[in-house]
Amino acid sequence: MTDLIQRYGRGLSWLSIGLTAFWLLALVILPYLGLFEQSFRPYLPVDEIGGPNDHYTLHNYMALFSNPQDITLCLPGKDTIPGSPIYLPDLVVNWPIHLYIFILTIVYSSVVTLIVLMLCYPIAYCMAKVMDPRSLPTFFLLLVIPLWVSELMRSFSWYIILSLNGPLSTLLMDLGILSAPVRWTWGLCGYSGIMVGLIYTYVLFMLFPVYNAMTSLDSNQIEAAEDLGAGWIRKHWRVIIPHCKPGIASGSVTVFMLAASSLLVPSLLASPKSRWFTEVIQQWMFESHDWNSGAAYAFLLLVVCTIFVTVMMKLFKVGLSDIAK
């Protein structure tokens, strides 16, 4: 605190603290508290709010566990990989519909996070340790240019690219690789379009933290590992990955949270089978006008994602302070 005042003077220090406090309190914490309170109340007409029916209840939260439906689970094999030798029989379960959508959202968000990590790690390594530092600014520019276009436009472009008569099918047919056009959003149990969209949209949120962590690794350590006879797998496993863990963790947390809470990509790149939990929340809010249930679902998403991320961090032995580094 004294450091801050010494460096920037009293006025500027208090201004920045005040603005941050205002932002956190008035624009984040208070609205959340309001929503949290609403989520425990029933959805009522305006003139009954505050009346005898307006009492606290867990009903909105319990809705997640009601309304079961027979669902044929999409298992790997059979339809997912055409011509796959693995054949799994249809498995029909009777699950609450929103819980099912919720679980799928978490599962697919985790897969997206994993794929993004596998894509970014080698790129980050090249940027930090292999590439000529003079060409880096150009490379960064190339990476960032797509961000100049709005997320909506980029997702809609993907919708066109992946559609039945879109450029991708046309190109592959012209090249003689495909004999009939394909709906590219229908793969992976109907989530391939969403996954492509999410990976594309959030890839940089992984790349930059991992790159950052990698640049802080002294190249001498890598050379030392090589000199002592480590192969490239061992070199990455024992030296580089442990050093990059904070970057990987913060990138994974960001990508997972963004993917699970994305609304635009899952609705634009949907297939006739896909449904994302945020779409259910939007439906509560905007179609059913039931803000109370919408709020409850939003908090369920927040709480479960937070628990999931915390468990994952415990599992991989990463502390919060590592991420903040």
DSSP per-residue codes, 150-167: -HHHHHHHHHHHHSTTSH
Stretch that binds other proteins, among 80-88, 151-159, 252-260, 315-323 (CB under 8 A): 151-159
Residue 31 CB coordination number (10 Å):
11
Integer Cα distance of 214 and 171 in angstroms: 38
For residue 315, give both structure tokens.
Answer: 């599992």
DSSP per-residue codes, 225-284: HHHTT--HHHIIIIIIHHHHHHHHHHHHHHHHHHHHT--HHHHHT--TT---HHHHHHII
Among positions 200, 274, 301, 305, the unique one binding other proteins when judged by CB under 8 A: 274
Is position 164 an interface residue for other proteins (rule: CB under 8 A)?
yes
Is position 270 an interface residue for other proteins (rule: CB under 8 A)?
yes
Which C-beta is closer to other proteins: that of 251 or that of 266? 266
Which C-beta is closer to other proteins: that of 32 or that of 139? 32
Is position 286 an interface residue for other proteins (rule: CB under 8 A)?
yes
Distances in Å between the Cα of 207 and the Cα atoms of 43, 278, 305 are 43, 25, 22
Q: How many residues bind other proteins (CB under 8 A)?
A: 51
Stretch that binds other proteins, among 68-76, 140-148, 246-254, 299-307 (CB under 8 A): 68-76
Is position 98 an interface residue for other proteins (rule: CB under 8 A)?
yes
Integer Cα distance of 164 and 180 in angstroms: 9
φ and ψ of 95, to 5 deg: -115, 155
- Give the shortest CB-301-to-other proteins separation in angstroms: 14
Integer Cα distance of 236 and 287 in angstroms: 50
- Give the shortest CB-141-to-other proteins separation in angstroms: 25
Among positions 10, 234, 289, 314, the unique one binding other proteins when judged by CB under 8 A: 289
User: How crowded is the C-beta side of 251, counted as CA atoms within 13 Å?
Assistant: 30
Which C-beta is closer to other proteins: that of 49 or that of 224? 49
Distances in Å between the Cα of 9 and the Cα atoms of 4, 16, 18, 135, 254 are 8, 11, 14, 40, 34
To the nearest 10 degrees (0 to 180), the angle between helices 291-315 and 241-260 is 170
Among positions 78, 154, 183, 243, the unique one binding other proteins when judged by CB under 8 A: 183
Residue 28 CB coordination number (10 Å):
10
Is position 153 an interface residue for other proteins (rule: CB under 8 A)?
yes
Is position 71 an interface residue for other proteins (rule: CB under 8 A)?
yes
Among positions 121, 208, 284, 297, the unique one binding other proteins when judged by CB under 8 A: 284
- Give the shortest CB-275-to-other proteins separation in angstroms: 5
Binding string to other proteins for residues 204 to 233, with x set by CB under 8 A, is what? ------------------------------
Q: Which residues bind other proteins (CB under 8 A)?
A: 30-35, 38, 43, 45-47, 67, 69, 71-72, 97-98, 100-101, 150, 152-153, 159-160, 163-166, 181, 183, 263-264, 267-268, 270, 272-275, 280, 283-291, 293, 295
